[in-house]
């Protein structure tokens, strides 16, 4: 309960029936826009993968995957995915996707170690996407262009939602602001990373923070990022590092910053080896996924995940992600949310 944000004067603008209709509207419209903007085709994705192949997303490297034995494979263990960051890149190679095109899928995950609050659930649903790029497109400029196209799709979806439900008023700014995590640190040297995100998002409304995963000048990371999908150690502009980042907005309903997407240009052979060494994970070089990448069998790519429930929560002006998705919540959290007019599904 200590994690629960209690929005002052909260009032749900849609009832539960309207909310379900709004979720359907947003999901159908946004994924079509995302597909069009980035030239992505939809593919079917797994709920679980075999353990020990290096395919599952390691997130920050400490979260436990949900596992189970497979009877017909001699009790070999499977892991429920955390995300599909590496699986998608294998799929690009399997589908022989050309540069300039890509794939997207509905990703459903279980993250048993999440600390439950208004934004975090045991159940995670994302549009996971991945596109093939050329060596020349591995630049911050290209990263920014893709971010702007994704943000344009988000704003178009906001417009449709507000047209459909006039009681919901738009609040997202026209433009998204870009800033490197190091510059953000210099702006707010006395704040924690989360406090810096709140400050910059309240100032600009929508922000893309570049360079997440590598250490900053204070010797600390802005946030953790696995060493084997996003390229966060490559030198970029002005001597700064990183070809990845997060899309965040200022969410007035909760009075805080709100992450909608984590994304980036993916590691090539050189940056994979460098990042594995930085993190002391060199043993991963022997895993199936990593061997594929190091032997040149996987295309260069850019990709990310966009939270489905999170986007619906924001565009429908909800106070808790449990108003959007069915999950498990502590009884006291359910009771408190009900009192505040935030009935959890």
Catalytic residue, chosen from 126, 137, 271, 301, is 126
Active site residue 198: no
Catalytic residue, chosen from 31, 35, 57, 158, is 57
Contact between 261 and 234 under an 8 Å Cβ cutoff? The reply is: no
What are the CA-CA distances from residue 296 to residues 233, 268, 288 (Å)? 20, 9, 13
Catalytic residue, chosen from 31, 233, 262, 308, is 262
How far is it, in rounded angstroms, from Cα 22 to Cα 16? Answer: 10
Catalytic residue, chosen from 106, 148, 223, 259, is 259
Which contacts (CB < 8 Å, 24+ apart) does range 323-332 have?
323/12, 323/19, 324/19, 324/23, 325/121, 325/123, 325/125, 326/123, 327/121, 327/122, 327/123, 328/122, 329/116, 330/1, 330/116, 332/1
Active site residue 128: no
How far is it, in rounded angstroms, from Cα 158 to Cα 29? Answer: 10
Active site residue 57: yes
Active site residue 111: yes
DSSP code at position 286 = G
How far is it, in rounded angstroms, from Cα 198 to Cα 201? Answer: 5
How far is it, in rounded angstroms, from Cα 1 to Cα 124? Answer: 20
How far is it, in rounded angstroms, from Cα 140 to Cα 236? Answer: 7
Phi, psi at 183, each rounded to 5°: -65, -35
Active site residue 39: no
How far is it, in rounded angstroms, from Cα 72 to Cα 123? Answer: 27
Catalytic residue, chosen from 246, 268, 279, 323, is 246
Token duo for residue 56: 């599952």
In 3D space, the residue among 233, 266, 251 whose CA is nearest the CA of residue 307 turns out to be 251
Phi, psi at 162, each rounded to 5°: -70, -30
Active site residue 266: no
- Bridge partners of 235, per DSSP, are 241
Catalytic residue, chosen from 89, 111, 138, 266, is 111
Catalytic residues: 57, 111, 126, 246, 259, 262
């Amino acid at each position: 309960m200590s994690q629960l944000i209690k929005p002052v004067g909260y009032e749900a603008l849609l009832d539960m029936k309207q909310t379900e209709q709004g979720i359907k509207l947003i999901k159908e419209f946004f994924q079509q826009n995302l597909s069009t903007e980035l030239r992505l085709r939809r593919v079917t994705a797994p709920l679980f993968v075999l353990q020990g192949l290096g395919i599952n997303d390691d997130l920050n490297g400490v979260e436990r995957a949900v596992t189970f034995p497979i009877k017909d494979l001699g009790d070999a263990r499977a892991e429920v995915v955390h995300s599909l960051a590496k699986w998608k890149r294998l799929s690009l190679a399997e589908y022989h996707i050309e540069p300039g095109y890509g794939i997207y899928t509905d990703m459903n995950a279980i993250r048993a170690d999440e600390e439950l609050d208004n934004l975090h659930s045991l159940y995670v649903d994302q549009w996971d996407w991945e596109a093939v790029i050329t060596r020349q497109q591995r630049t911050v400029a290209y990263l920014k262009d893709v971010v702007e196209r994704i943000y344009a799709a988000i704003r178009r979806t906001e417009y449709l939602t507000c047209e459909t439900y006039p009681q919901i008023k738009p609040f997202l700014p026209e433009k998204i602001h870009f800033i490197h995590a190091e510059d953000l640190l210099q702006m707010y040297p006395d704040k924690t990373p989360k406090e810096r995100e709140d400050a910059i998002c309240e100032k600009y409304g929508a922000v893309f923070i570049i360079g997440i995963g590598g250490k900053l000048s204070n010797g600390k990371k802005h946030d953790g990022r696995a060493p084997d999908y996003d390229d966060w150690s490559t030198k970029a502009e002005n001597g700064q590092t990183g070809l990845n980042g997060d899309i965040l907005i200022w969410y007035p309903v909760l009075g805080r910053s709100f992450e909608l997407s984590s994304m980036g240009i993916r590691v090539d052979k050189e940056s994979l080896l460098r990042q594995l060494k930085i993190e002391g994970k060199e043993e991963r070089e022997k895993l199936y996924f990593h061997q594929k990448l190091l032997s040149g069998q996987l295309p260069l790519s850019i990709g990310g995940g966009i939270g489905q429930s999170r986007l619906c929560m924001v565009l429908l002006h909800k106070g808790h992600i449990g108003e959007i998705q069915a999950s498990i919540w502590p009884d006291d959290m359910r009771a408190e949310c009900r009192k505040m007019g935030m009935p959890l599904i």
